[in-house]
Amino acid sequence: ISFFYEYGITLAHASNYYPQGNGQAESSNKNLVTIIRKLVDVNQRMWHKSLYDALWVDRITPKRSL
């Protein structure tokens, strides 16, 4: 915990049962689901084979902070 204080990091906890409490992660997951849906247009049961491509696309896409 001293590591967090040293670098000025604020610890925050979100409930597993209240996904709105972790909006940034939920937004990121929503983007990944959208990308995967576009990649597996024909055979949706093979979504796991497109996961790495979707992660790569998400990671290289420029994002702006609010």
Give the pLDDT confidence of 25-51 residue by residue, as tens digits: 777 888 888 888 888 887 788 888 888
Report the number of distinct structural domains present in the chain.
Answer: 1
This prediction has a pTM of 0.54
Share of the chain above pLDDT 70, in %: 82
Residue 44, domain member (yes or no): yes
In this structure, is residue 65 part of a structural domain?
A: no
Reference 33, options 18, 14, 50; nearest CA is 50
- % helix, strand, coil for the chain, step of 5: 65, 0, 35
CA end-to-end span of the chain: 27
pLDDT score for 1: 66
pLDDT at 17: 66
In this predicted structure, the answer to whether residue 52 has a pLDDT above a threshold of 70 is yes
Structure tokens at 26: 């939920």
Query: Residue 51's domain spans which residues?
Result: 2-60
pLDDT > 90 fraction of the chain, expressed in percent and rounded:
3
CA dihedral angle for residue 55, residue 61, residue 62, residue 66, rounded to 10 degrees:
-50
